[in-house]
Amino acid sequence: MASLCPSAAPGNVSALMSGVMIKTAIFMLIRVSFDFLGASQAWWGYIVLTIGTISAILGILYAVVEPDMKRMLAFSSIENIGIILIGLGASIIFFASAKPILCAIAMIAALYHLLNHSVFKGLLFMGQVPYYIQPIQKISRNWGSDQENAGMRHSYTNWRIVNFGHAVI
């Protein structure tokens, strides 16, 4: 994902890739798992669960140390897709174990996180581009102590806090 989201791509292209293109693969995986495979094999659920766990852990570890804003959001998308895969894997395991209520709860959680991620990550990609007049690229460079952009930086920070708060809810 990080290589699919180059720094030169505009924010709307990054938002489209994060909000639509990645989710298409997740929906295909759901269709293959439940329609074609029948989701009756628990081993497939364990594979999806393991891949999702590895993706979530590695994605957030890379995102924490990344100074480039778009690449950090791309690595965060990798982590969020891992969380969605964890829910999907749990749903497959519960379906194979004949626990339909737990299967439904895990699938609803995965789909809710998928919807939440596509809306709010798209907003974050769109919102990181117009920072005053210049785009935000390096986090450390733009959060300095220059006084001329202090008001804009403060309002932009407040907007991002609200956006992150809605993503958590």
Q: How many Cα atoms sit within 13 Å of 85 on the Cβ side? A: 25
Whole-number pLDDT of residue 121: 78
Indicate the domain borders of the chain.
Answer: 11-168
Higher pLDDT, 160 or 64: 64
Which pLDDT band, with edges at 50, 70 and 90, does 135 fall under?
very low
SS3 131: strand
Dist. CA 61–CA 98, nearest whole Å: 35
How much helix, strand and coil, in percent to the nearest 5, is found in the chain?
Answer: 75, 0, 20
Looking up tokens 């390096």, which residue turns up?
Answer: 138
pTM for the full model?
A: 0.73
Dist. CA 148–CA 106, nearest whole Å: 49
Partner residues linked to 101 by β-bridges: none
* pLDDT over 80 at 81, yes or no: yes
**Contact in structure between 80 and 20 (CB atoms under 8 Å):** no
Dist. CA 111–CA 31, nearest whole Å: 13
* pLDDT over 80 at 64, yes or no: yes
- Cβ burial, residue 53 (10 Å; 0-12/13-18/19+): middle
Q: How many Cα atoms sit within 13 Å of 79 on the Cβ side? A: 15
pLDDT in tens, 17-38: 777 788 888 888 888 887 777 7
Q: Report the Cα–Cα distance between both ends of the chain, in Å, rounded.
A: 25
Tokens of 145: 């102590």
Which pLDDT band, with edges at 50, 70 and 90, does 2 fall under?
very low
